[in-house]
Amino acid sequence: MNARVKKQYLLKPQHARTNRKMRDLVDQAVTAMPEVGIRKSAEFLASMHVPVEVAVRALVYPKRRRTVTPPSYRRR
């Protein structure tokens, strides 16, 4: 990866959420998980057509959601 491409990649927000409907569905599944279990939460997300990668990441690591900090934009 050359320096120009690397700089563009680092300046772009890596975890920007653009789909609010999917965010709300995942929030519902994660909130209900202690009561209904991971299997029912996964079935709910699958029935709502949430991508498998997103569902697995959100259900397996629920405490890590929204704790990702964007890359630093200051120069070194």
The one-digit pLDDT tens for each residue of the chain (76 residues) are: 566 665 555 555 545 556 788 888 998 999 999 999 999 999 999 999 999 988 998 999 887 776 444 455 555 5
pLDDT for the residue numbered 15: 52
Rounded-to-integer distance, Cα 8 and Cα 5, Å:
5
- What pLDDT score does 68 carry? 45
CA atoms within 13 A on the CB side of 4: 0
**CA–CA separation, 76 and 74 (whole Å):** 7
Residue length, the chain? 76
Task: Enter the pTM of the model.
Answer: 0.62
pLDDT at position 23:
86
Tokens 């975890």, located at residue: 15
Given a contact cutoff of 8 angstroms between Cβ atoms, the answer to whether 48 and 23 are in contact is: no
